[in-house]
Amino acid sequence: MGERVVVTGGAGFIGSHLADALVSRGDEVHVVDNLATGRREQVPEDATFHELDVSDVDALGELADRIGPVARWYHLAAQADVRVSVEDPAFDAKVNVIGTISVLAAARRHGALVAFASTGGAIYGEVVEPADESTPMHPPSPYGAAKLAGEVFLAQDSRLNGGAHTVMRYANVYGPRQDPHGEAGVVAIFAGRVLDGRPARIFGDGEQTRDYVYVGDVVAATIAAADAAASGADADLRSGGATVPVYNVGTGRMTSVLELWDAMERAYGSTNGREFEPRREGEILNSVLDASFARERLGVTFDTPLEDGLLATIEWLGGTVRA
Ligand SMILES: NC(=O)c1ccc[n+]([C@@H]2O[C@H](COP(=O)([O-])OP(=O)(O)OC[C@H]3O[C@@H](n4cnc5c(N)ncnc54)[C@H](O)[C@@H]3O)[C@@H](O)[C@H]2O)c1
């Protein structure tokens, strides 16, 4: 039998895929989103949509009362554009810190757990080898700092109020419905260029690397982490309520911008070439996550081949595969 669940940010890229998956498994899904970047048409038909700003503590609390007992809040609503966070850190903190505090308060009304979409790359910062969950954290942007603060508030709420919350630190998530402004925005930009028959525009030498993880794999891991929290299978990770489980979600593979473009051209069967521009100030060179812990504990994989995922993304953008 399904559960009543809330997905904040469920009109967005990852949240809408998650809402689809939860509807498919029989849950009663409520989507909360203010459509800042999300799209109403991405919310599954069988979900109930509530247009609301998650940082409005009172309004979210009233909504929680109206919906009635909820088992889980999947909290994905966020200001997820790193550049916006640099330009306006206070706005970023309003959405990403106050918004998370507000979700925790709403969830507490019915003793629900919160599964929080945090970030890997924007929390660990520059790395030379795959970062695991114990790697020191050096958020290079206000966005990363705000996500880290959100994690700390989850742990604190868990200690004070006993919520069985859980945290996923996503790598660079890509796939259908993504837009160019997220952490793996380059995939959407490249997909558009492949479709238009234009060369890639590469900033710097193209050797900078990221960990591109397919959205379907991310959704499966997110649900598995929430299942472990709900069943108590992760109880040993909570050390007396002082901490919450944290799982990296990524492939562990470093893919350079040049490799990404090559994979995309192979997937689509095009040869548009590439153009180079000066390196962008402040850009992280390497970001990659070791997600062995999630694989072992949650029994999930992050194995969707890059070319398959890229092809699905290009096709979603409107392409037809060339022979
Ligand atoms: N895409 C990635 O590579 C990536 C990587 C790491 C972490 N994440 C995290 O995953 C989550 C989903 O990211 P995404 O890529 O799907 O981004 P997205 O922008 O597509 O989704 C975010 C959603 O939140 C909604 N939203 C924004 N502000 C809101 C507010 N104040 N109240 C209610 N809704 C609000 C937006 O309208 C949007 O639908 C975010 O928390 C993001 O920080 C994403």
Q: How far is CA 136 from the centre of its chain?
A: 20
Pocket test of ligand 1: the residue of 173, 215, 246, 260 to mutate, having most ligand atoms within 8 Å of its CB, is: 173
Residue range 45-94, pLDDT digits in tens: 999 999 999 999 999 999 999 999 999 999 999 999 998 999 999 999 99
Closest residue by Cα to residue 289 from 246, 245, 251: 251
Residue nearest to atom 27 of ligand 1 (CA): 78
CB 272 within 8 A of CB 200: yes
CA 79 to ligand 1 centroid distance, Å: 6
82 CA → ligand 1 middle, Å = 11
The CATH H-level (homologous superfamily) assignment of domain 175-211+252-288+303-316 is: UDP-galactose 4-epimerase, domain 1 (3.90.25.10)
Write down the catalytic residue from 143, 170, 214, 268: 143
Q: What is the pLDDT of residues 126-167, one digit of tens each?
A: 999 999 999 999 999 999 999 999 999 999 999 999 999 999
Q: Is 143 a catalytic residue?
A: yes
CA 16 to chain centre: 11
Residue 239: its pLDDT value, please?
A: 80
Please, are residues 282 and 208 in contact by the beta-carbon 8 Å criterion? no
User: Domain coordinates of the chain in residue numbers?
Assistant: 4-172+212-249, 175-211+252-288+303-316
Please count the CA atoms within 13 angstroms of the CA of 282 that sit on its side-chain side: 7
* CATH class in words for 4-172+212-249: alpha beta
Ligand 1 atom nearest to CA at 36:
37
Q: Long-range contacts for 258-263 (Cβ within 8 Å, ≥24 apart)? A: 258/202, 258/206, 258/207, 260/186, 260/187, 260/190, 260/210, 260/212, 260/306, 261/190, 261/200, 261/202, 261/206, 263/306, 263/307, 263/310
Q: Are strands 209-210 and 255-256 parallel, antiparallel or unpaired?
A: antiparallel
pLDDT at 246: 97
Ligand 1: atom nearest CA of 38 is: 39
Same fold, 4-172+212-249 and 175-211+252-288+303-316: no
Protein residue whose Cα sits closest to atom 23 of ligand 1: 9
The pick from 16, 31, 37, 73 for probing ligand 1's pocket by mutation, whose C-beta has the most ligand atoms within 8 angstroms, reads 37
pTM above 0.85, yes or no: yes
Note the pLDDT tens digit of each residue in 245-303.
Answer: 999 999 999 999 999 999 999 999 999 999 999 988 778 899 999 999 999 999 999 99
End-to-end CA distance of the chain: 45
Ligand 1 mean position, distance from CA 80 (Å): 5
> If you measure from the C-alpha of residue 77 to the centroid of ligand 1, how many angstroms do you get, rounded to a whole number?
5
Residues 6+ apart with CB under 8 A from 35: 11, 51
For ligand 1, the distance from its centroid to the CA atom of residue 37, given in whole angstroms, is: 8
Which residues contact ligand 1 via a Cβ below 6 A?
9, 11-15, 33-38, 53-55, 76-80, 95, 99, 117, 119, 170, 172-173, 182-184
**Nearest atom in ligand 1 to 39's CA:** 39
